[in-house]
């Protein structure tokens, strides 16, 4: 069967939509949530859109931020257990873990519903996989990937904290390096001293804070790139 691309339709429908590219959201050193505009290596920070943010996670579809007592989404907020949170975004839903109260909840449209889980050790990261949630945990100095029922899915050999589970692997600190390890066993290493935190920015980027500087790491396969994020103007 012949495929016809409607030539006339190009003028009528292929009118391009042009937008300013964005890399997602970051939490700056002052705890303000800011959009990041531009492309890799050439970015600017937008004005703060929320203050007092402890943790955040963004994807193309959803951006959730945790303040001391609530979860921010868009221009709305949902009351939440105190302290920071770990997020696993799953489309327009999310799994949320509250380390301070050791609670796991399902978030959807501003509603939090508690979930049962049986995880030993310190939970460092979450990811959604096939509608379920998986965890990176530290047990006796070793790092594991486990399911909510406690089943071990794999080991993160050589990993150190912080750890972030990616959809197809994991990102973690290892000495003075930041390692992207894919599920197929391949690894990429970036020299970076003093990695302290990893936050998903959205659009395939992770915010890395190391000392006084913040970096953006593209974790999309074959597009991996680490660059410095500008500090906000005073």
Q: Which residues bind other proteins (CB under 8 A)?
A: 1-7, 9-11, 13-21, 37-45, 213, 220, 223, 227-233
Residue 2 or 130: the one with the smaller Cβ distance to other proteins is 2
Instruction: Give the shortest CB-84-to-other proteins separation in angstroms.
Output: 25
Instruction: Give the shortest CB-202-to-other proteins separation in angstroms.
Output: 14
Reading phi first (left if > 0) and then psi (alpha if -120 to 50, else beta), residue 45 is in beta
Give the Cα separation of 165 and 206 in Å (integer): 11
Instruction: Give the shortest CB-173-to-other proteins separation in angstroms.
Output: 21
Residue 17 or 79: the one with the smaller Cβ distance to other proteins is 17
Residue 28 or 77: the one with the smaller Cβ distance to other proteins is 28
Give the Cα separation of 32 and 27 in Å (integer): 5
Give the Cα separation of 195 and 172 in Å (integer): 9
Tell which residue, 234, 194, 189, has the closest CA to residue 212. 194
Instruction: Give the shortest CB-50-to-other proteins separation in angstroms.
Output: 19
Give the Cα separation of 109 and 55 in Å (integer): 19
Residue 21 or 91: the one with the smaller Cβ distance to other proteins is 21
- Encoded tokens for 225: 């790139």
């Amino acid at each position: 069967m012949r495929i016809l691309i409607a030539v006339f339709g190009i003028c009528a429908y292929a009118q391009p939509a042009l937008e300013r590219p964005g890399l997602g959201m970051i939490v700056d050193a002052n705890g303000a949530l800011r959009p990041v505009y531009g492309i890799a290596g050439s970015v600017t920070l937008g004005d703060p859109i929320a203050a007092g943010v402890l943790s955040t996670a963004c994807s193309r579809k959803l951006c959730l931020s945790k303040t001391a007592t609530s979860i921010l989404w868009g221009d709305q907020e949902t009351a939440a257990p105190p302290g920071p949170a770990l997020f696993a975004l799953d489309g327009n839903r999310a799994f949320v873990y509250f380390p301070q109260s050791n609670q796991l909840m399902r978030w959807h449209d501003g509603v939090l519903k508690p979930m049962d889980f049986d995880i030993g050790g310190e939970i460092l990261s979450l990811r959604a996989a096939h509608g379920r949630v998986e965890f990176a945990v530290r047990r006796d100095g070793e790092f594991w990937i486990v399911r909510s029922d406690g089943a071990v899915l794999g080991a993160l050999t050589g990993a150190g904290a912080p750890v972030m589970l990616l959809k197809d692997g994991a990102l973690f600190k290892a000495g003075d390096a930041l390692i992207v390890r894919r599920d197929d066993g391949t690894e990429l290493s970036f020299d970076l001293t003093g990695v302290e935190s990893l936050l998903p920015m959205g659009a395939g980027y992770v915010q890395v804070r190391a000392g006084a500087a913040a970096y953006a790491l593209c974790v999309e396969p074959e597009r991996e790139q680490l660059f410095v994020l500008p500090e906000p103007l005073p």
